[in-house]
A = this chain, B = another copy of it.
Amino acid sequence: MGIKFQQKYKVPYYETEISGKMKLPTIFNVALQVSGEQSTVLERSDEYVKSLGLTWIVTEYLVELTRLPSFNEEIIIETEATSYNKFFCYRRFTFKDEKGDILLTIDSTWCLINTETRKPAHVPDEIVAPYESEKVRTIKRTEKIPALENYRHKTYQVRYLDLDINQHVNNSKYLDWMFDSLDYDFLATHQVETLHLKYVKEVYYGTNIESRNKKDGLKTWHEIFSNELNAQAVIEWRKNEI
């Protein structure tokens, strides 16, 4: 396991949804900011990585959620680079309450791409060494998410402010679109229990995307689709206690 890095965070009102709980897409943003802070401390900032002609992308998230943080709650966000192989780096995020009880965990998969060709690159030891994560031979295989048939869908425009400093659509937007394609009443009365999200292909500004979903009881399947498949997810939900 790698070096652990922690930051405190207080949930502002504008990152909450109507229930007063923190929005899940925002949780990804905050998590990635914390890993960025660790990288800066370890002298492996995005600028450093870019100076080698490379950039990080997240390919996959696995979330297990006990409870979402609430408005004004002071939480602890812990992260560590757990292991890596030739192609992928694995990083865990743990969100804890003030007492140290776990609110949620995110297991994320990252790869490096060449900034010019946008093709995957091997992970150089010099980039990952300071994190002290374990080098492994095996590539983690996660469950395959089946292509959707007989889905419902909603269409979205990619907006100018969906793009961030990395010049592409902010990662969290895909989940925004997925959530929003579900009914208001379902969203207002249910909470995510587990989430498996795969990024397949970047969405570009100027395109319209279809957010497709299929629902079976407390399980939903999602696709973000433009001219091609951009992202997929499976979510297990539980009903809110009243």
Binding site for B on A (CB under 8 A): 12-14, 16-20, 23, 25, 29-30, 32-33, 36, 71, 154, 156-157, 159-161, 163-167, 170, 172, 176, 179-180, 182, 184, 187, 205-206
Contacts and interface: CB of A to CB of B under 8 A. Distances in A.
Contacts of A19: 165
Chain A interface helix/strand/loop/mixed: mixed
B176 A159 contact: yes
Contact of A16 (B156, B160, B164, B187): B164
Those 6 A-B pairs whose CB atoms lie nearest each other, nearest first: A14-B29, A16-B165, A12-B33, A159-B180, A20-B165, A18-B163
Contacts of A13: 32-33, 36, 164-166
A170 B14 contact: yes
30 contacts: A12-B29, A12-B33, A13-B32, A13-B33, A13-B164, A13-B166, A14-B30, A14-B33, A14-B164, A14-B170, A16-B164, A16-B165, A17-B160, A17-B161, A17-B165, A18-B163, A18-B165, A20-B165, A71-B165, A156-B157, A157-B180, A159-B176, A159-B180, A160-B179, A160-B180, A160-B182, A160-B184, A160-B187, A161-B180, A184-B206
A205 B184 contact: yes
A168 B157 CA distance: 22
